[in-house]
Amino acid sequence: MATTVHPETLLGDALVRIAKEVDACFDTLLPVPGDARDRLFEAMRYATIGGGKRLRPLLVAAVAGMFGVDRSVAVRVGTAIEAIHAYSLIHDDLPCMDNDAMRHGKPTLHLAFDEATAVLAGDALHALAFEILSDPALIGDPFTRIELVRTLAMASGATGMAGGQMMDMVAETTAFDLPTVSRLQQLKTGALLGAAVEMGAILGKLPAEGRALLRGYARDIGLAFQIVDDLLDTEGDEAAAGKALRKDAEAGKQTFVSLLGADRARAQAHMLVGQAVHYLGSHGEEAELLRAIARFIVERDR
Amino acid sequence: MATTVHPETLLGDALVRIAKEVDACFDTLLPVPGDARDRLFEAMRYATIGGGKRLRPLLVAAVAGMFGVDRSVAVRVGTAIEAIHAYSLIHDDLPCMDNDAMRHGKPTLHLAFDEATAVLAGDALHALAFEILSDPALIGDPFTRIELVRTLAMASGATGMAGGQMMDMVAETTAFDLPTVSRLQQLKTGALLGAAVEMGAILGKLPAEGRALLRGYARDIGLAFQIVDDLLDTEGDEAAAGKALRKDAEAGKQTFVSLLGADRARAQAHMLVGQAVHYLGSHGEEAELLRAIARFIVERDR
């Protein structure tokens, strides 16, 4: 087949498409019930509809798409991961955590609503992720569903994302070295990005060897993603980011940029993306979107 | 078989036994890793080991025991529900929610540690519940595991416990009538108690009709449990309860007691327990523990 794919258009179209699909999925999942729970559902909608890059759902859809998985199934699975991502941002933004005022260019949930509603909406989104994945209407086969549940639960709990967030709190008072910062980021951000790739592979019923290569891809783009986050935190524009920046330096945290310097950090991110793309070597044009995502991760400005 | 079971001893022994088993299960699940995540694991242990009546695990074990389910499997499933219950108490106790200082006779988690750790430990316990239920070492059959996940997720999210907690917040500023207070409690407390009974039945591979009767039992003891909670909140002893009381009246919330008066509320609880026991009519001595639990719910003093 002649190569007619333009990577920029491919990625741009894919980002627009997945954002619409994930918004529609949350809209369907979260009808305001018209009773005393309305405020909870409105808060859940505020935090999930119309915001974020949707990188995790895009990864699920990109991997699942390589193996001919039904698009609507991949979107629902991606939305489950996005529900976890959204709850973690809500709780992270709380006054007792990062105390952030802006998220996705609008007031954080606890400011738009109130703190108690923010805690509860986060908890309800957490449960929603597992409601989505356990639904027999998603996939008839219970083995696939339980594998998805297990992958997401392990990636988000104390051995994954929540563990990374605890390390991030400790980082405010302890000077971590580079391996510890890498480990922190692998848990805090990498685990969920890795789960997205893994869950796409589970949907595609990919055998173990193929999954190992995709895990390598996921690990490298996850680390590159975080290095770029650190660079944007140092050099980026707050208006474009839609959130407060320069917080790590203010909190006295070690980051890839503070430990390596900006130039070496940038070189490291590019090296990791090259390595990630290398893992896709056995795949042809069907992996072009994953390659474009890897490049997007180092080239993005927010 | 001659009836030789003494209900009080039966229940007392069962409560002591399940408390030990659930403590041991959390102890195994939450080893302190010896790294920068230690504080998270210590907080999770503080909130789960050595506290609480373990009513939900007891219900799982009592129902599962009627159908010859392996005890250790029932205990692990009960521990998953207890992890959800524990996270909900941690988040409920936060300053932005109920702002409670005591829980199970010791300082609440955010006072013993700090608020950010309390938010995170709650989130990690939430994920832990689904880690436990999705573990292939729990039960080989993926269908049973995914049914357990679905039941717990639906009972704890916006259509269950979290929805009930939002109604509870609204109750501070809105005078609910009796049906709305019943609905609130059915979601806030009843959903998880019902899930415990249901999950025991799932483990026992009970067919639909048998489950419907047990659901009736669970609904009635759930409501009776909450009425007794309201009575204890009005009349109980704070030292015995190990937590602050008289909070509903201070917050101006309508409760079963404020709406019905103490005498009618007490009569209603006894009526519900009688009805719950009636649902167990088709069962013999194997349901004696469930009958004892129902009576315990109205006779407890904390």
How confident is residue B246, by pLDDT bands cut at 50, 70 and 90? confident
Chain A segment 184-243 residues within 8 A of B by beta carbon are 184
Other C-beta atoms closer than 10 Å to the C-beta of A300 total 14
Which residues from A are below 8 Å from B146, CB to CB? 134, 142, 145-146, 149
Least confident of A11-25, A137-151, B238-252: B238-252
Query: Is the predicted pLDDT of residue B228 greater than 80, yes or no?
Result: yes
List, for residues A38-49, the tens digit of each pLDDT value.
999 999 999 999
> Which residue type, as a one-letter code, is found at position A268?
Q
- B39-74 in b/e form (b: 16+ CB < 10 A) is bbbbbbbbbbbebbebbbbbbbbbbbbbeebeeebb
**pLDDT of res. A209:** 85
Q: pLDDT above 70 covers what percent of chain A? A: 98
Q: Is the Cβ of B111 closer than 8 Å to some Cβ of chain A? A: no
C-alpha B91/C-alpha A57 separation (Å) is 28
Query: Is the predicted pLDDT of residue B66 greater than 60, yes or no?
Result: yes
Residues with Cβ < 8 Å from B195, sequence gap 6 or more? Answer: B56, B81, B151, B152, B154, B155, B156, B160
Give B106's strand partners. Answer: B103
Torsion over CA: B290, B291, B295, B300 (sign): negative
Q: Is the Cβ of B127 closer than 8 Å to some Cβ of chain A? A: yes
C-alpha B128/C-alpha B26 separation (Å) is 10
Q: Could you give phi then psi for residue A284, rounded to 5 degrees?
A: -100, -135
CA A71 to chain centre: 19
Q: Is the Cβ of A175 closer than 8 Å to some Cβ of chain B? A: no
Q: Among 1.10.10.10, 3.20.80.10, 1.10.600.10, 3.40.50.300, what is the CATH number of A7-299? A: 1.10.600.10
C-alpha A129/C-alpha A167 separation (Å) is 24
Domain locations in chain A as residue ranges? 7-299
Q: Is the Cβ of B134 closer than 8 Å to some Cβ of chain A? A: yes
Q: What is the pTM of this model?
A: 0.95
Torsion over CA: B152, B153, B155, B157 (sign): positive
Report ipTM for this prediction. 0.95
Torsion of CA B60, B66, B68, B74, to 10 degrees: 10
**pLDDT of res. A239:** 76
**pLDDT of res. B98:** 93
**pLDDT of res. B236:** 79
Q: Do A115 and B96 touch (CB under 8 A)?
A: yes
Q: Is the Cβ of A251 closer than 8 Å to some Cβ of chain B? A: no
**pLDDT of res. B4:** 52
How confident is residue A213, by pLDDT bands cut at 50, 70 and 90? very high
Query: Is the predicted pLDDT of residue B182 greater than 70, yes or no?
Result: yes
**pLDDT of res. B251:** 81
> What's chain B's length in residues?
302
Q: Do A146 and B146 touch (CB under 8 A)?
A: yes
Nearest to B130 among A115, A149, A167 (CB): A149
Q: Could you give phi then psi for residue B38, rounded to 5 degrees?
A: -50, -45
Query: Mean pLDDT, to the nearest integer, of B101-115?
Result: 96
List, for residues B125-143, the tens digit of each pLDDT value.
999 999 999 999 999 999 9
**pLDDT of res. A3:** 46
Torsion over CA: B56, B59, B64, B65 (sign): positive
Q: Is the Cβ of B41 closer than 8 Å to some Cβ of chain A? A: yes
Higher-pLDDT residue of A244 and A83 is: A83
C-alpha B110/C-alpha A180 separation (Å) is 26
- What does each C-alpha distance from A28 to A23, A43, A193, B152, B281 come to in angstroms? 9, 15, 24, 21, 42
List, for residues B3-38, the tens digit of each pLDDT value.
455 667 899 999 999 999 999 999 999 999 999 999
- What does each C-alpha distance from B288 to B11, B37, B66, B214 come to in angstroms? 9, 44, 10, 14
Query: Is the predicted pLDDT of residue A240 greater than 80, yes or no?
Result: no
Query: Mean pLDDT, to the nearest integer, of A48-72?
Result: 96
- What does each C-alpha distance from B266 to A75, A149, A154, B228 come to in angstroms? 50, 42, 44, 7
Q: Do A167 and B36 touch (CB under 8 A)?
A: yes
Q: Which residue is listed with tokens 């204890």?
A: B232
Which residues from B are below 8 Å from A158, CB to CB? 30, 37, 40-41, 44, 124, 127-128
Query: Is the predicted pLDDT of residue A192 greater than 70, yes or no?
Result: yes
Q: Which helix (H) or strand (E) holds B106?
A: strand B106-107
Query: Is the predicted pLDDT of residue B219 greater than 60, yes or no?
Result: yes
Q: pLDDT above 90 covers what percent of chain B? A: 86
DSSP symbols for B218-253: HHHHHHHHHHHHHHHHHH--HHHHTS--SHHHHTT-
**pLDDT of res. B71:** 98
E strand spans, A53-114: 102-103, 106-107
**pLDDT of res. B296:** 93
Query: Mean pLDDT, to the nearest integer, of A192-208?
Result: 96
Q: Give me chain B's average pLDDT, please.
A: 94
**pLDDT of res. B241:** 75
How confident is residue A5, by pLDDT bands cut at 50, 70 and 90? low
Decide: B206 and B214 in contact? Cβ < 8 Å. yes
Q: pLDDT above 90 covers what percent of chain A? A: 86
Decide: B26 and B64 in contact? Cβ < 8 Å. no
**pLDDT of res. B26:** 98
**Best to test chain A binding among B120, B145, B181, B192 (most A CBs inside 10 Å):** B120
List, for residues A88-135, the tens digit of each pLDDT value.
999 999 999 999 999 999 999 999 999 999 999 999 999 999 999 999
**pLDDT of res. A2:** 42
CA B48 to chain centre: 13
**pLDDT of res. A6:** 67
By C-alpha distance, which of A193, A159, A189, A180 is closest to A253?
A: A180
Higher-pLDDT residue of A107 and B207 is: A107
Helix/strand/coil (H/E/C) assignment for every residue in A9-26: HHHHHHHHHHHHHHHHHH
Query: Mean pLDDT, to the nearest integer, of B89-103?
Result: 96
Q: Is the Cβ of B115 closer than 8 Å to some Cβ of chain A? A: yes
Q: Which residue is listed with tokens 């510890």?
A: A180
CA-atom Rg of chain A in angstroms: 19
List, for residues B135-170, the tens digit of each pLDDT value.
999 999 999 999 999 999 999 999 999 999 999 999
By C-alpha distance, which of B132, B116, B130, B128 is closest to B39?
A: B116
**pLDDT of res. B2:** 42
Query: Is the predicted pLDDT of residue A170 greater than 90, yes or no?
Result: yes
Least confident of A159-173, A210-224, A249-263: A249-263
**pLDDT of res. A267:** 96
- What does each C-alpha distance from A235 to A223, A241, B299 come to in angstroms? 18, 11, 64
**pLDDT of res. B7:** 66
Q: Is the Cβ of A124 closer than 8 Å to some Cβ of chain B? A: yes
List, for residues A275-300, the tens digit of each pLDDT value.
999 999 989 999 999 999 999 999 98
Q: Which residue is listed with tokens 């580079």?
A: A178
Other C-beta atoms closer than 10 Å to the C-beta of B278 total 12
